[in-house]
Chain A
Amino acid sequence: MNAASWGWLVLLFPLLGSIFIGLTFRRIPPKAAGLVGIAAIAAAFICGIAAVISLQGEPAESRHVADSLWTYASVGGLSIDLGIYVDPLSAFMVLVVTGVSSLIHIYSYSYMKSDAGYHRFFSYLNFFVFSMLLLVLAGNFVLLVVGWAFVGFASYALISYWYRREAATRAGMKAFVINVVGDIGLVLAAILIFRELGVIDYGAVFEKAPEVFTTTNEWTAVAICLLLLVGAFAKSAQMPFHTWLADAMEGPTPVSSLIHAATMVTAGVYLVARAHPLFELAPAAADVAAIVGLVTLLVAGTIAIVVTDLKRIIAYSTMSQIGYMFVAVGIGAYSAGMFHLMTHAFFKALLFMAAGSVIAAMANIQNIDRMKGFYKAMPFTAAMLIIGALALSGFPGTSGWFSKDEIIDFAAFRGGWYEIFAIGGYIGAFMTAIYSFRIIFRILPGPPCEEAAHLIETGHVVHGEPVNPATGEKEDIEVGYPGEDHHIAEQAMGMKIGMSVLGFLALVGGLVQIPGVTEVITHFLEPTFEDSPLAAMHPTVAEAWKGLAKGAVISVVGIAFTWWLYIGRPSVPETLRRTFSPIYTLFINKWYGDEIIDFLIVKPVKGFGRFANNWFERYAIGGLTNGTIAIVRSASGAVRDLQTGMLRGYALLMAVGTVAILLYFLIRGL
Chain B
Amino acid sequence: MAIEWYLVLSAMLFSIGFAGVLVRRNPVVVLLCLELMLSGGALAMLSFSRLHGDGDGQVFVLMVLVVAAAEVVVGLGLVVAMFRRRIPLDVDEMKELRG
Contacts and interface: CB of A to CB of B under 8 A. Distances in A.
Interface residues of A, number: 13
Nearest to A639: B99
Contacts of B21: 648, 651
A224 B21 CA distance: 87
Contacts of A645: 94-99
B51 interface: no
A1 interface: no
A647 B97 CA distance: 10
B86 to A, nearest CB: 20
A643 B96 CA distance: 10
Interface string B15-53: 000100111010000100000000000000000000000
Contacts of B95: 644-646
Contacts of B76: none
A520 interface: no
Contacts of B98: 643-645
B92 interface: yes
Interface in A629-654: 639-648, 651-652
Contacts of A647: 30, 91-92, 94
A655 B18 CA distance: 9
Contacts, number: 33
Contacts of A641: 99
Nearest to B92: A646
B14 to A, nearest CB: 11
A647 B95 CA distance: 8
A640 B18 contact: no
Contacts of A640: 99
Interface string B80-93: 00000000000110
A642 B97 CA distance: 11
A610 to B, nearest CB: 43
A651 B17 CA distance: 12
Nearest to B25: A648
A640 B97 CA distance: 11
B22 A652 contact: yes
A64 B21 CA distance: 100
A662 to B, nearest CB: 13
A647 B18 CA distance: 13
Interface string A525-540: 0000000000000000
A648 B99 contact: no
Contacts of A651: 18, 21-22
A640 B99 CA distance: 5
A648 B92 contact: yes
B36 to A, nearest CB: 14
A647 B21 CA distance: 9
Nearest to A643: B99
A648 B97 contact: no
Contact of B97 (A639, A643, A652): A643
Contacts of A643: 97-99
Nearest to B96: A645
Given A641-B99, A642-B99, A655-B18, A648 B94 contact: no
Interface of B: 18, 21-23, 25, 30, 91-92, 94-99
28 contacts: A639-B99, A640-B99, A641-B99, A642-B99, A643-B97, A643-B99, A644-B95, A644-B98, A645-B94, A645-B95, A645-B97, A645-B98, A645-B99, A646-B92, A646-B95, A647-B30, A647-B91, A647-B92, A648-B21, A648-B22, A648-B91, A648-B92, A651-B18, A651-B21, A651-B22, A652-B22, A655-B18, A655-B22
The 6 residue pairs across chains A and B that have the minimum distance between CB atoms: A643-B99, A645-B95, A645-B98, A640-B99, A647-B91, A645-B97
